[in-house]
Amino acid sequence: MAIQDFQFLTSNGQTLNLLGDALSYTDEIGTGVVEHQILKRNGALHQLAGTPPKKHVFQCCMRGADVQARYQRLVDVITAYPVGVLVHPRLRAGNAVCEGVSASENPGQETDTINYTITFRETGLHDLPQPSPVAAASAAVMEAATTVALATAKAPLVVGQAKTIQSATTAFLATVQSVQGQAVSSLALTAQLANMLTATQLVSNNIGINFTVRASAALVFSQCQAAYNRVIGGTVPIVSYVVGSPISLARLAQQLYRGKARAQEQVIMGLNRIPRPLQIPAMTSLLIPQPDVVRTLG
């Protein structure tokens, strides 16, 4: 299939039609994978740090009696405003910045011929794709199996609690799937999220056991929380909050939500088991609607 178009449309309204000049091009498309080597271990670990911007390098040639005017306009346009939209010959158009032009001319061999290289790089930030609720809950189930394995090897006294986490996470995944299929209300998932917090904190808050076991239990809850927030997308996210000093629920809600405190008291009561709302002990972990989001809602 022949190349259909190659243009750069600057944000201040200028257009560079480059299709007739193009000879070849190269694209550099990275994945953002970062490699970590571990001392005295073979192999490496890899993490995704975020996809880097694509880079496009075009080899071009201008020919004809008007090359001086055309070349001058190219330079004027990209130096005046190098940001715009690149219409790539093969890829979809996207926001880009022109990094520069490198040109050469050899009148002894060819007259009215300028060879140049023009380089573009994708510009703008993009959010990483978010996992689906089922994918996040499935990741929690896999991590719960890891919690059991770690507890068996490094903290035998909490194996029973780790297995409770595993069972609760499996039930949580089933409820996520039911909510997604509209078989049950999301209120059922809210209750199970509270159960997950209680079950995981029995392990994650136990400072007497191996840290990796505690961290794995905490990660299980984090993944369940991510799944929950994806299910209720479009409403207020639920976050974890640790009470700093003894306080009543009404006072805490006032501190967090100001004029919207009373309504949020009922939400917090529904998300948590609070035996004594008039005096919540210090270091109590609660599930609460994200305060900054609540305060900005109309």
pLDDT reported for residue 272: 87
Q: Mapping DSSP to helix (H, G, I), strand (E, B) and coil, where does residue 259 land?
A: helix
**Sign of the Cα pseudo-torsion (208, 209, 212, 217, in order):** negative
Quote the CA–CA distance of 129 and 79 in Å, as a whole number.
35
Tokens of 104: 């050469």
Quote the CA–CA distance of 206 and 49 in Å, as a whole number.
32
195 and 115 assigned to the same domain: no
CATH number at residue 50: 2.40.30
Contact predicate 180/173, CB 8 Å: no
| Mean pLDDT to the nearest integer, 36-42 | 79
- Give the torsion through C-alpha atoms of 165, 171, 175, 181, to 10 deg: 130
63 and 102 assigned to the same domain: yes
- Cβ within 8 Å of residue 124, ≥6 positions away: 95
168 and 241 assigned to the same domain: yes
| Mean pLDDT to the nearest integer, 75-94 | 92
172 and 286 assigned to the same domain: yes
66 and 144 assigned to the same domain: no
- Give the domain extent around 186: 133-265+276-296
Of 97, 122, 147, the position where a domain reaches its end is: 122
In three state form, how does the secondary structure of 45-90 look?
EEEECCCCCCEEEEEEEEECCCHHHHHHHHHHHHHHCCEEEEECCC
DSSP category for residue 19: G
Encode pLDDT of 232-268 as tens digits. 765 678 888 899 899 999 999 999 998 888 888 988 9
Please report whether residue 271 resides in a domain. no
Residue 57 pairs in a beta bridge with 26, 119
Encode pLDDT of 110-163 as tens digits. 889 999 999 999 998 766 666 688 988 999 999 999 999 999 999 999 999 999
pLDDT reported for residue 234: 55
Q: Which of 19-33, 72-86, 178-192 has the lowest mean pLDDT?
A: 178-192
The whole-model pTM stands at 0.50
143 and 253 assigned to the same domain: yes
Tokens of 91: 């890829």
Please report whether residue 237 resides in a domain. yes
Of 122, 143, 163, the position where a domain reaches its end is: 122
Encode pLDDT of 259-288 as tens digits. 888 888 988 988 888 989 999 999 898 988
102 and 181 assigned to the same domain: no
Of 95, 122, 149, the position where a domain reaches its end is: 122
Number of domains present in the structure of the chain: 2
